[in-house]
Amino acid sequence: MPTTSPLIGSLKAAALLGVDRSVFNKLVAAGKLKPLAVGEGRTGARFFSPSDVLKLKGKRERGEK
């Protein structure tokens, strides 16, 4: 039976990438990472797939754009 990873919030995703929130927000705005869910409200918390975050981390470590 396949298992799914729970989604993680922006702060945890930024920590996994090893960047601060400002850099993380720029990566999201540039389309490098897309939230899988957005909460309600004015600020709308964003939630990401841990596997997507780790894939982006690998790309950044290899110097890929």
* DSSP string covering 5-65: PPPEEHHHHHHHHT--HHHHHHHHHTTSS--SEE-SSSS--EEE-HHHHHHHHHHHHTT--
The amino acid at residue 41 is G
Q: Phi/psi of residue 51, each to 5°? A: -65, -35
State how far the Cα of 3 lies from the Cα of 19, in Å rounded to an integer. 28
Report pLDDT for 3. 55
Residue 43 pLDDT level (bands cut at 50, 70, 90): confident
The structural domain count of the chain equals 1
Average pLDDT over residues 33-52: 94
State how far the Cα of 15 lies from the Cα of 64, in Å rounded to an integer. 19
Does residue 40 belong to any structural domain of this protein?
yes
Does residue 57 belong to any structural domain of this protein?
yes
Does residue 2 belong to any structural domain of this protein?
no
Average pLDDT, the chain: 92
pTM: 0.84
* Owning domain of residue 42: 8-61
